[in-house]
C-alpha cells in the first residue's frame, strides 16, 4: 500500500485535511467583507476594502451631499485636513487613489506614469496613484463590475458614450462645486464650452473634459491624383461615389468605412446623419431623431456606396484589417480614427496621404467626435486627492503632452495652437476638423440605442434594405430602447 501511495504523491495528503481546508476556505469566505483583505492571497494595500457599498448607493446620484469646501467631513486621513484653510494644501494630501483609463496607445502605462511622476513631484508627493487600464471592447462590463464591487478606482476616464448611464445610476460624484471653485476658474475657462456641455447632464457635472477623439477620413493622394479626382472627390456625396468608382480597380477599393457594431461603426455613419440634420434622438431626447427625407437620402447614399462594388464587402475586413489595407495602398478613401496618424508617421507608407472629412450634406458639413472626461467615483473615500489628480491631469502641460503622444485632440483652447508643431496631419485635424465636430447626445441609454439599432444598418449595407426601410427599422429599435 505504501508503495502505491508514493506514485501519486499529492494525493497522500489526508482527505481530512481536504475537508478541513474546504471548511476553512468557506468559513473565511463567508466571514464577509471585513476579512476579505486577509483572504486574498496578495491583496494590495489599497484603500479600505468595499467600505459599505450601500452608502454609495443610498446617495442615489443626488448632487454632492458633502461640501467639497470642507474636506474634514471625509474621514479618510484626518491628519491631512488639520489645517484651517478652506482649500487643503496640496502637499498635505495623502493616501492612495486608483485611476483607470482605456488605452490610447500600446505605451499607455508609460505615458500615464510620466503624468503621475509629475503629480508626485510637483503637486502631491504623498499621494500614491495606482494606474490600471480597462479594455475598450469590454469596458462597459469592466466598469459596471468595478462600480458594483463597491470599491471602484477613485478616478475614471469615461467617454461620453457611457458616462451618462453611470451618472444616472448614482455611481459618479457630482463635481459641480469642484469645477466652479473660484481658484480653478482660469483653468475651467480654458476648456471649450461645448466640451463642458457634454459633461453637464441630468443637473450635474460628471467630470472634467480632457480629450477628444475625432473620426476622420484618410485619403491616398497618389491614387486620387492618378484617377483625376484629387480636387473633386469631396465636393458632394455624388462626387465621392463617382470618385470611388473611378478609383476602384482589381486591386484597390475606392472607399471603405467600418460597418460592424463590434467596431463601433456608427462613428463613420454619424457625419452623414448630422449633415442631414438628423440625430439618433430627437431634440428633447424623447424619441428617435432619424426623421426627414434628408436622413433617408443619407442612409440610401451609404447603402449605395456599400453595394456599388467600390467598397470591401461589409464584414470582410476588421477594423485593423481596413487600416492595414489602406497602408498597403489598397483603399483610397478610408473612414478611420486619428490615433492611426501616429502609426502612419512612424511607418510611412510609400504614397502621399492626408486627413480629410466627409463631403457636405444638405444641412451642413460635420465631423464626428467623441470626448472623454475624468470623473470621481461617488464611492471614493479620497475625493480630495482624486480632484487634485484630475486638475493635474487636465492641466495644459500634462494633457498637451499626452495628446501629442497618442494623437488625440485636446479640448483646451489655450494650447491648441502650440500642439502638433511636428505633426502636419494632426495640426490639420485640430484646425480643420475639430471646429466642425458635432458630438453625440449623452443620453444614459445612447449606447444601448446605438447597439440595438446598428444591426439594421448592417443588414442595409449588405443591400437587403432600402434607406427608408433601414431608417424605419433603426427608429423602431431606438424607440424600443427609450420605451423599455
Partner 1 sequence: MAIALIPFLYVISTALKDTNSLFSYPPDWIPSPIYWGNLRSLLQDQPFVRWTINTLFVSGAVTILKIWFDSAAAYALAKMDFYGKRSLALILLLSVAIPIAALIIPLFFVVRYLGLLNTYWALILPPLANPLGIFMARSFITAIPDSLPASARLDGASEFTIYRKIVLPLIRPGIVVLGMFTFMLQYTSFIWPLIAVQDSSRQVLTVGISSLKSAFLPDWGLLSAAMLLAAVPITLVFLAVQKTFVVNDLSGALRE
Partner 2 sequence: MRLSSGEHRRLRRRYKLRTALTAYLFLAPNLLCFAVFLLLPVLWLAFSTFRTGGVLGPAEFVGLDNWRETFGDPLARTSIRNTIVYSAMAIPAVFVIAMVLALALRTIPRGGSPIRVALYLPTLQPTIVAALIFTFVLHPDFGVINFAVRTLGRDPINFLGDISLALPTVAGIEVWRGTGFWTMMFLAGLVGLPHELFQAAELDGAGAVRRFVSLAVPLLRPTFYFAVIFATIVNLQLFDTVFALTDGGPANSTLTVALFVYRSLFSFGEIGFGSTLSFILVITVLALTGAQTYLMRYRS
For 83, the 3-state DSSP assignment is: coil
220: left (phi over 0), alpha (psi -120 to 50) or beta: beta
Distance CA 47, CA 33 (A): 13
CB of 328 or CB of 421, closer to partner 1:
328
Number of residues that bind partner 2 (CB under 8 A): 48
327 binds, among partner 2, partner 1, none (CB under 5 to 8 A by kind): partner 1
SS3 for 43-65 is CCCCCCCCCCHHHHHHCCCCCCC
Rounded to a whole number of angstroms, the minimum distance from the CB of residue 144 to partner 2 is: 5
260 binds, among partner 2, partner 1, none (CB under 5 to 8 A by kind): partner 2
Describe the chain by its helix, strand, coil percentages, rounded to 5: 50, 15, 35
By C-alpha distance, which of 147, 103, 154 is closest to 124?
Answer: 154
Per-residue binding letters, 355-384, with partner 2 (x by CB under 8 A): ------------------------------
Question: Residue written as cell 479640448?
Answer: 411
165 binds, among partner 2, partner 1, none (CB under 5 to 8 A by kind): partner 2
Distance CA 88, CA 82 (A): 9
Rounded to a whole number of angstroms, the minimum distance from the CB of residue 291 to partner 2 is: 23
Contact residue for partner 2 among 26, 82, 91, 421 (CB under 8 A):
26
14 binds, among partner 1, partner 2, none (CB under 5 to 8 A by kind): partner 1
User: Residue 203 CB: number of other CB atoms within 10 A?
Assistant: 11
Give the interface with partner 1 as residue ranges (CB under 8 A): 1, 4-5, 7-8, 10-12, 14-16, 18-19, 21-22, 25, 29-30, 32-33, 35-36, 39-44, 49-50, 102-106, 108, 132-138, 141-142, 145-146, 148-150, 318, 320-321, 324-325, 327-330, 339-340, 342-343, 347, 406
Rounded to a whole number of angstroms, the minimum distance from the CB of residue 306 to partner 1 is: 22
Residue ranges in 225-264 that form contacts with partner 2 under rule CB under 8 A: 259-262
**Residue 89, interface with partner 2 (CB under 8 A)?**
no
Contact residue for partner 2 among 119, 131, 147, 353 (CB under 8 A):
147
Distance CA 217, CA 367 (A): 10
Contact residue for partner 2 among 448, 453, 471, 478 (CB under 8 A):
448
Residue ranges in 153-182 that form contacts with partner 2 under rule CB under 8 A: 165-166, 169-171
**Residue 22, interface with partner 2 (CB under 8 A)?**
yes
**Residue 55, interface with partner 2 (CB under 8 A)?**
no
CB of 408 or CB of 465, closer to partner 1:
408
Rounded to a whole number of angstroms, the minimum distance from the CB of residue 387 to partner 2 is: 23
Distance CA 98, CA 92 (A): 18
* φ/ψ of residue 235, rounded to 5: -70, -40
> Near partner 2 by CB under 8 A, which window of 12-20, 339-347, 353-361, 403-411?
12-20
**Residue 148, interface with partner 2 (CB under 8 A)?**
yes
CB of 11 or CB of 189, closer to partner 1:
11
Residue ranges in 110-139 that form contacts with partner 2 under rule CB under 8 A: 137-138
**CB neighbour class for 373 (10 Å; exposed up to 12, middle 13-18, buried from 19):** buried
User: Residue 115 CB: number of other CB atoms within 10 A?
Assistant: 21
Where would I find the beta strands (DSSP E) of 267-391? 331-337, 353-356, 368-376
- Is the Cβ–Cβ distance between 97 and 389 less than 8 Å? yes
Distance CA 368, CA 433 (A): 9
> Near partner 2 by CB under 8 A, which window of 140-148, 204-212, 362-370, 405-413?
140-148
313 binds, among partner 2, partner 1, none (CB under 5 to 8 A by kind): partner 2
Question: Residue written as cell 506614469?
Answer: 113
**Residue 31, interface with partner 2 (CB under 8 A)?**
no
Rounded to a whole number of angstroms, the minimum distance from the CB of residue 138 to partner 2 is: 8
Rounded to a whole number of angstroms, the minimum distance from the CB of residue 4 to partner 1 is: 4
Q: C-alpha 225: how far from its chain's center?
A: 36
By C-alpha distance, which of 478, 109, 461 is closest to 299?
Answer: 461
CB of 325 or CB of 415, closer to partner 2:
325
> Near partner 2 by CB under 8 A, which window of 16-24, 83-91, 273-281, 424-432?
16-24
Q: Residue 216: in which H helix or E strand, if any?
A: strand 208-220
Strands 208-220 and 368-376, by their bridges, are antiparallel
**Residue 69, interface with partner 2 (CB under 8 A)?**
no
**Residue 202, interface with partner 2 (CB under 8 A)?**
no
Q: Which residues of this protein are in contact with partner 2, per CB under 8 A?
A: 15, 18-19, 21-23, 26, 29, 57, 60, 137-138, 140-141, 144-145, 147-148, 165-166, 169-171, 259-262, 312-318, 321, 325, 445, 447-448, 451-452, 455-456, 458-459, 462, 464, 484
Amino acid at each position: 500500500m505504501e508503495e502505491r501511495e508514493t506514485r501519486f504523491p499529492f494525493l497522500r495528503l489526508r482527505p481530512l485535511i481536504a475537508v478541513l481546508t474546504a471548511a476553512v476556505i468557506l468559513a473565511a469566505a463567508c466571514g464577509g467583507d471585513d476579512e476579505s483583505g486577509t483572504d486574498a492571497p496578495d491583496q494590495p494595500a489599497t484603500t479600505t476594502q468595499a467600505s459599505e457599498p450601500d452608502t454609495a448607493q443610498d446617495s442615489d446620484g443626488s448632487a454632492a451631499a458633502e461640501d467639497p469646501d470642507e474636506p474634514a467631513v471625509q474621514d479618510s486621513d484626518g491628519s491631512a485636513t488639520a489645517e484651517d484653510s478652506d482649500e487643503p494644501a496640496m502637499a498635505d494630501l495623502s493616501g492612495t487613489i486608483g485611476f483607470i483609463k482605456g488605452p490610447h496607445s500600446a505605451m499607455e502605462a508609460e505615458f500615464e506614469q510620466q503624468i503621475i511622476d509629475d503629480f508626485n513631484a510637483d503637486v502631491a508627493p504623498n499621494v500614491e496613484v495606482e494606474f490600471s487600464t480597462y479594455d475598450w471592447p469590454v469596458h462597459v462590463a469592466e466598469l459596471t463590475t468595478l462600480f458594483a464591487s463597491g470599491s471602484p478606482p477613485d478616478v475614471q476616464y469615461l467617454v461620453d458614450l457611457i458616462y451618462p448611464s453611470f451618472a444616472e445610476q448614482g455611481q459618479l460624484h457630482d463635481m459641480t462645486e469642484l469645477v466652479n471653485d473660484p481658484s480653478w476658474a482660469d483653468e475651467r475657462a480654458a476648456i471649450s464650452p461645448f466640451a463642458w456641455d457634454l459633461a453637464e447632464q441630468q443637473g450635474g457635472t460628471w467630470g472634467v473634459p480632457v480629450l477628444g477623439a475625432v473620426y476622420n477620413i484618410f485619403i491616398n493622394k497618389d491614387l486620387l491624383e492618378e484617377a483625376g479626382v484629387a480636387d473633386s472627390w469631396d465636393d458632394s456625396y455624388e462626387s465621392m461615389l463617382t470618385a470611388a468608382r473611378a478609383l476602384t480597380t482589381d486591386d484597390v477599393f475606392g472607399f471603405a468605412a467600418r460597418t460592424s457594431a463590434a467596431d463601433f461603426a456608427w462613428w463613420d455613419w454619424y457625419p452623414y446623419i448630422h449633415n442631414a440634420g438628423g440625430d439618433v434622438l430627437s431634440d428633447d431626447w424623447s424619441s428617435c431623431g432619424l426623421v426627414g427625407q434628408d436622413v433617408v437620402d443619407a442612409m440610401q447614399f451609404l447603402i449605395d456606396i456599400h453595394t456599388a462594388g467600390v467598397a470591401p464587402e461589409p464584414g470582410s475586413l476588421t477594423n485593423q484589417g481596413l487600416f492595414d489595407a489602406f497602408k498597403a495602398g489598397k483603399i483610397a478613401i478610408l473612414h478611420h480614427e486619428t490615433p492611426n496618424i501616429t502609426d502612419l508617421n512612424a511607418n510611412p507608407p510609400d504614397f502621399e496621404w492626408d486627413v480629410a472629412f466627409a463631403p457636405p450634406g444638405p444641412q451642413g458639413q460635420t465631423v464626428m467626435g467623441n470626448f472623454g472626461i475624468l470623473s470621481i467615483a461617488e464611492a471614493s473615500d479620497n475625493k480630495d486627492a482624486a480632484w487634485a489628480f484630475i486638475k493635474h491631469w487636465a492641466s495644459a502641460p500634462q494633457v498637451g503632452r499626452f495628446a501629442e503622444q497618442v494623437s488625440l485632440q485636446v479640448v483646451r483652447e489655450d494650447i491648441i495652437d502650440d500642439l502638433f508643431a511636428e505633426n502636419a496631419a494632426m495640426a490639420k485635424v485640430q484646425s480643420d476638423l475639430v471646429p466642425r465636430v458635432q458630438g453625440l447626445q449623452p443620453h444614459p441609454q445612447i449606447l444601448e440605442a446605438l447597439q440595438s439599432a446598428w444591426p439594421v444598418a448592417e443588414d442595409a449595407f449588405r443591400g437587403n434594405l432600402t434607406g427608408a426601410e433601414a431608417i424605419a427599422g433603426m427608429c423602431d429599435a431606438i424607440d424600443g430602447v427609450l420605451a423599455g
